[in-house]
């Protein structure tokens, strides 16, 4: 995996992956910040796992969202101290143990972004089920 980051002037940067995708980032709040992109990556990586695990279990999953909240250090470097990921899944007949298992497997075994942060960031999870009537 490769990427190149180009300075675009001021505090703007463009990342270009070896697969051709681009991301705009900005240190002055005019686009997603690098730290926000890390938080988004945590949610996206883990959500991919949760959805895949649920689908492989033949669960009638209709939607999944991951709401993340992070606390950063007050002083430089302003690293993440903690991240809480709350998953909200929607579907028919989803059992609590099914989503609990999917979230646990993602956080402890499959999510490479979470696992990369493990040991330096306190990561917690929770979940909720929205039943389709």
pLDDT per residue as tens digits for the range 105-116: 999 999 999 999
Q: How far apart are CA 129 and CA 131, in angstroms?
A: 6
Domains detected in the chain: 1-32 (2.20.25), 34-131 (3.30.300.20)
Instruction: Give the start-end residues of each E strand in the chain.
Output: 3-9, 12-17, 22-26, 60-72, 80-92, 122-131
Strand partners, 61: 91
Convert the pLDDT of each residue in 7-18 to its tens digit. Answer: 999 999 999 999
Average pLDDT over residues 31-49: 98
User: Residue 9 in 3-state DSSP?
Assistant: strand
Residue 133 has pLDDT above 80, yes or no: no
The per-residue pLDDT for 127 is 98
The per-residue pLDDT for 131 is 87
Residue 132 pLDDT grade (very low, low, confident, very high; cuts 50, 70, 90): confident
Q: Residues for the chain: how many in total?
A: 133
What's the pTM value of the predicted model, to 2 decimals? 0.94
The per-residue pLDDT for 114 is 98
User: Residue 47 in 3-state DSSP?
Assistant: helix
User: Residue 77 in 3-state DSSP?
Assistant: coil
Rg (CA), the chain: 17
Convert the pLDDT of each residue in 47-105 to its tens digit. Answer: 999 999 999 999 999 999 999 999 999 999 999 999 999 999 999 999 999 999 999 99
Sort strands 12-17 and 3-9 into parallel, antiparallel or unpaired: antiparallel
In Å, how far are 3, 6, 16, 31 from 25, measured between CA atoms? 14, 10, 11, 5
**Sheet of 3-9, strands arranged across:** 3-9, 12-17, 22-26
């Amino acid at each position: 995996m490769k990427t190149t980051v180009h300075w675009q002037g001021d505090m703007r940067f463009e990342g270009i992956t070896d697969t051709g995708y681009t991301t705009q980032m900005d240190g002055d709040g005019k686009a997603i910040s690098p730290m926000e992109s890390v938080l988004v990556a945590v949610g996206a990586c883990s959500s991919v796992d949760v959805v895949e695990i649920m689908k492989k279990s033949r669960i009638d999953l209709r939607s999944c969202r991951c709401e993340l909240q992070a606390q950063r250090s007050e002083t430089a470097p302003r690293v993440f101290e903690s991240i809480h990921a709350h998953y909200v899944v929607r579907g028919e007949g989803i059992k609590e143990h099914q989503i609990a298992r999917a979230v646990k497997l993602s956080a402890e075994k499959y999510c490479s972004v979470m696992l990369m942060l493990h040991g330096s960031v306190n990561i917690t999870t929770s979940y909720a089920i929205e039943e389709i009537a």
